[in-house]
Structure formats: C-alpha cells, structure tokens
Structure 1
Amino acid sequence: MKTAMVIGAGPAGLMAAGELARAGIKVVVAEAKPSPARKFLMAGKSGLNLTKGEPLEVFLGNYSGSPRIRDITAEFGPEQVADWTRGLGQEVFTGSSGRVFPLVMKASPLLRAWLAELDELGVTLKTRWRWAGWDGDRLIFDTPDGRKFETPDVTILALGGASWARLGSDAAWVPWLAEKSVDIAPFQASNAGLLVNWSTHMERHFGSPIKPARLTAGAHSVRGEFVISQRGLEGSAIYAMSKPVRDGAELCVDLVPDRDVVDVAARLSKSRGKTSLANHLRKQLKLGPAQIALLQEFARPLPQDSQALAAVIKALPIRHDGLRPIDEAISVAGGLRFDDLDGGLMIRTLPGVFACGEMLDWDAPTGGYLLTACFATGRHAGRAAVRFLEG
C-alpha cells in the first residue's frame, strides 16, 4: 500500500487527506498542536463563514496573486463547498449579504463530522507531531515519544501562513524550504485592522460601529461597516482594504454613502441658527455621535463652508499607523510562489512533495473566500498526489 504524510490538520490538509484516503492510500496527518483545525474553530466562534453565494466570475474576482489560485478555486467553488458541507450532514443557509454559513453557525459540529469521515476512511491523525524539516529524504518530527523519522511515498504540506501563531500558523517551515531552493514571497499582513493613535476624546466611542460607510483606497472601494476599537479600526470593510493600504494608497471613508455630495452640501447649507454644528450634522445627515467624533478626529477644524464640509464628509481621510502586526492579522499574503509549483501544486525541486492552503502566495478578503480557497487547494493537491502515485 502506498503511503502519504499530510503535515498540518487545517482545512487544506484535511481536504487533501480525504482525497488520498479515498484512493486507497494509507494516510497519516501530522499536527503540531494538541488538536486539529484550531484556526478553523476560532474562525467559527462568531459564525463559520464557509463561502459566498454569488456568481463564480464575481467570486473569483476577489482573489489576487497568480491566476492559478482562481483556476484551482473554480474547481471547488461556492456551490461545491455548500454541497460538501451538506454531505457531512450539516445544512447551510445564505445570509442577506450572500455569505454562506452552517445552519448551526458553529465550526465544531462540521469538524466532528469531517474527522469522523476521515477516520472511517482509515486516516490516522497524529497530534503534537511537529515537523522539523528533513534528514536527507526523511521527514523529521518532534513528538511526545521523541524524534521520529518518516519516509512516505508522497508528502502534502499544509502548514498555514504566518498569522495566529498560537493556533499553529507560525511559518516555522520557511527556512527548511528555503534550504531546498524554493522561492518564498515575504509574508505580509492581510485582512488586518488599522492602528490609530486616538486622541482622548475618542475613548467613549470604543466599540461603536460606523455604518453605513464606503471605504476607498486607490482603485479599491467597498461598502460595509467597521468598528472603532481601542487600538484603531476593525471590521470587514477595513479588512477588505488591506492590500491597497499595504501598497501605500490613502484610505478615505464616505460617511453618507447613500447621498451624493450635492445633496449633502444642500442639506448643510440650511440655516442652523443657534444649533451646534454637531446637532446640525445629526439633524440634516443623520450622523451619529461616533461618526461625528470620527469626523472631528480626522478633519478638525471642520470647514465652515457647506460645500467644503460636504466634500470632507464624503471623503474623510483616515490617518493611521498602518496595519496591525502580522500575527494579529486574519490571514497573510505571500508564501510559496506558484512559479515553483507544477500544475498539481507539487514543488518542482522536491518530487512527491505538494503544498496547499495559506502557505501558498495568494490573497483574498474575508467573507468565505479564504476558506473556499483552502478547501480547493487541499483537494487539488490531494488529487494531484494520487495521480503522481498512480503515474
């Protein structure tokens, strides 16, 4: 019987393990942590966003990096993810934003069903097995029973990126692949909050949502919401701006996205008598205290001219100190470059060694895109490994 070692028990690794096991290959999954899929479980704490229900062409347009990430994800896109989830006995529903969730919302029931299926297929899960590189052709693992050496027929690397190290994605694998002349793009924070050094008057607004809003940075624009936090700005709309902000584009927010600048200026030009500017903004534009505080924070002193003030409200520049540290980011850009991988995600310089998931060089926003690509690349690498063994 042929053997396969999958290193990393996250979504990509578990998906690859299933493909190999269904082909009759003896599969061992090595996981450094005491339990599998910790980042997957953490992502599901507030509702497991599996994928996004939208036309495939629109869905794939959210991925950046090599076109190959879009081609691979197209093979196992939103419809396939939903069908796969149902196949594990977990019904799904689509929210008003198009995001797809398990009906129970949490990740743990889906993970239990998935692990049970893999167990029935004969997959062996080894926890607290930390990969420590190679010794010649042998894989080295540090385990509770001491150092172990393995020589499988194929190896799938599903080691994650460089964010949330405490959950397993610590990028410790980078030096070992670099020694094998594998090209690795530097990791950068993605889907991360913004650091802002607030003035003291903002403290009472910590935790306040800003919605509706439209954020713009360079050619990128997204409508959504975000939250004022003690350390800066958080939320899906902010995360979606990670790439242009990382590239140096100025970030602006439109606080009244449902009104054009002419309408805003006309409303502001109405006489306010003895009413304070804050009350005038609240009455004419329905701006809340947090929105007004944000306006004062980034544009004080506010223009007195109604047209100039309208322009600021429609495009308020956000001063910030950059993205949160990489280990606090939801995901990362960077990783193994696709040029060093063949069509099946096998590392060209390491025959029989495949890679998948977040350790590859691609980027996407939150909203189901990250998980879908992890599922898809794991499936793709697993199937390619089967073909390699059959070849």
Structure 2
Amino acid sequence: MDNSRREIAIIGGGPAGLRAAEVAARRGAAVTVFDAKPSVGRKFLVAGRSGLNLTNSADFETFLAQYSGRDFPVERWREYLKDFDNYHLSDWAAELGVDTFAASSGKVFPFSKKAAPLLRRWVLRLRELGVVFRMKHQWTGLAKQPDGRIQIDCLQGDQPVQARFDAVVLAMGGASWPQTGSTGSWVSILEAQGVEVVPLAAANCGWECDWSPETRAQIEGKPLQNLKLSANGRTLTGELVATRYGFEGTPLYTLGRELRRMASPVIEIDFKPTLLKRGSLQKWSPRVAIFIKRPACVGN
C-alpha cells in the first residue's frame, strides 16, 4: 500500500456510510467499511418496499427549507447541501444506471421503484474504487494512539479485532430499526469516551393516537388527501394515511419536532381547507383536534 494514502475506517454500512466511503475513496483514501450485519444497506432495502423515495424535485430554496428549524438555522444547511443537492442526487443515481422520475407530489423515485438494483450497483462501484468491506464486525470502541492514529475495536463473532486508521467516520444511524442494525448501542460507547450525546428522539415516523375499534375499522389504511395540519403554531399541507395505531405522512413527520415540544401533543386537521360556502366568500373548514400520544418508533 502507498504509505502516502490516508487510511479511513467507516463504521456503519447504511447510505451515509456508503456515501462517505465513496467520497473518501474518490479522493484517494484507502477505505474500510465495518458493519455488524452480514451485508450493507439493510434499512435502505426496507425503504425500497414503499417505492424508495430518494429525494424531492422542489427548487433548492423550497427543498432547503425542509431541513431548517428553530435549533438548526437554514444557512447551516445551505452550506452542507450546496455542493450536493436534490438534483445532484438524481444525477448520481443516473450515473449508476438508475433513472428516476418525479411524481406529482414532487417525490423522486427510481423507475423500478426498487432499492436492490441501485444498492447492488453502488456496492460494485465502491469495490471498483478499492473500498474494503468488513461485515459481521460489531464496533465496540476506539482510542487515540500515541502516534496520532485511531484504534478501533470490534467483535467478529466471539473474536476481538483491532485495527488502526488515520481517521474514523461514524455513520451508525439511530435506534429505530434494530433488525437492520440501527440499535443505538453506539451511544454508550461515545459517552464512555466523554462525548456528550443528544438523547435519541423519534424523527420521520408516524404518531400514535387512540382510535376506537369502530373508527379503526373504517379508516385503517385509507389516504386522507389535501389536508391542512397545524401543531404548536406551525401549519403544513399534504396527505396522511390512517394506520392501526395512528397516522403516517410527510406533513406529520415534519411537525414531529413541534409535537415533541408540546406537553400534550395535539394536531389540528382541516379536512377541507379550500372548500367555500355556497354564495359566500367565507371559507368553511371542518376541523378536528386530535390528541397524539407518542411517536411510533424509538428514534433516529
């Protein structure tokens, strides 16, 4: 190996880890990806079951606004996204031979609406770039060495494994889907190193509410379209799906931050925001306030 090449470890084989590996390898680094599972991209494949919504076709400013919030100013996201925005993502997929299309909602999908073809081609590209994959390696710790390099500790089955790198990228996801490797076990490892970790909180997930058996029987799985949703002073429009436990839908995912701030989370839904009373310009809107219990997943 060329001694001038920086050796980089990526902990986590999800989309964030794979993208970090791709960028580093293209810049000449020797990259090794570690993951506890037998294969990479497991939650990515789960996302493909519903069509693999890769990004959104909105103009950049509208797209950017979806990332900003009270705790994270929009200009910070502008700096992060300016060199690889939603349109760059579609171009990247096309380079892998996966063409995309934008639905009427603005959501961008592969024409196949499947994740596996894209993931296979992505992994093949990474291997061609020289990326090494170390599967079934459960990360257990890291420590900086006197020479400035970083030692990582893993378990391969019952066998301890150690390796040293010039840099380590942590891309381990949250705690929302343990079956795919998102267990959140890394939190205790970092806290043991003195790293302060913001408590995991649910994001981009549905919310629970108490349906009566009669209501659930009528609405479960039904789309509720052209709604206006409000929570804690913020209002969005969009579509929800009623589930056996509550609601799913993009507007609700976005309002999740607001709901978490409320002592008793409530969403107000305007089911007919554009309906006008006959013979009058006064807007008539059947509204309902629904008490939300808690997020329907652990955290991200």
Kindly report which structure 2 residues correspond to 1:71-220, keeping only aligned pairs within 5 A, or say none: 71-134=79-142, 137=145, 138-144=151-157, 146-205=159-218, 206-220=220-234
CA contact (8 A) 1:60 1:74 kept: no
Picking from 285, 288, 299, the partner of 1:316 is: 288
Classify 1:43/1:325 alpha carbon distance in 2 versus 1 (closer, same or farther; 3 Å).
closer
Q: Does 1:256 align with 2:272?
A: yes
Partner residue in 2 for 1:386: none
1:245 pairs with 2:253: no
- On the 8 A contact 2:53/2:108 being kept in 1, the answer is yes
The whole-number CA distance in structure 1 between the counterparts of 2:255 and 2:40 is 30
Q: Which of 13, 20, 23 matches 2:24?
A: 20
Among 198, 214, 236, the alignment partner of 2:250 is 236
Structure with greater proportional helix content: 1
How far apart, in 1, do the equivalents of 2:143 and 2:108 lie?
44
SS in 2 for 1:202: helix
Query: What TM-score comes out, normalization by structure 2 length?
Result: 0.87
Q: What is residue 275 of structure 1 aligned with on the other side?
A: none
Deviation at 1:211, TM superposition (A): 2.1
Distance 1:10 1:87 in 2: 20
TM-superposition CA deviations, 1:288-334 (whole Å, max 9, x none): xxxxxxxxxxxxxxxxxxx9xx56x1x3111232322415xxxx3xx
Offset of 1:168 from its aligned partner?
1.3
Contact 1:30 1:125 in 2 (8 A): yes
Q: What is the CA-CA distance between 1:208 and the residue it aligns to? A: 2.2
**Equivalent of 2:72 in 49, 66, 73:** 66
- Work out the percentage of aligned pairs sharing the same amino acid: 35
- The structural deviation recorded for 1:162 is 2.1
- Runs of 4 or more off by more than 4 Å in structure 1? none
Q: In the alignment, is the contact (CA less than 8 A) between 2:55 and 2:109 conserved in 1?
A: yes
Query: TM-score, normalization: structure 1?
Result: 0.68
CA distance 1:320–1:21, change in 2 (3 Å): closer
Two-structure CA RMSD over aligned residues (Å): 2.2
Distance, in Å, in 2 between the alignment partners of 1:105 and 1:47 is: 4
AA matched with 2:292: H
**Unaligned ranges ≥5, structure 2:** 146-150
The 3-state SS of whatever aligns with 1:189 is coil
CA distance in 1, matches of 2:79, 2:279: 46
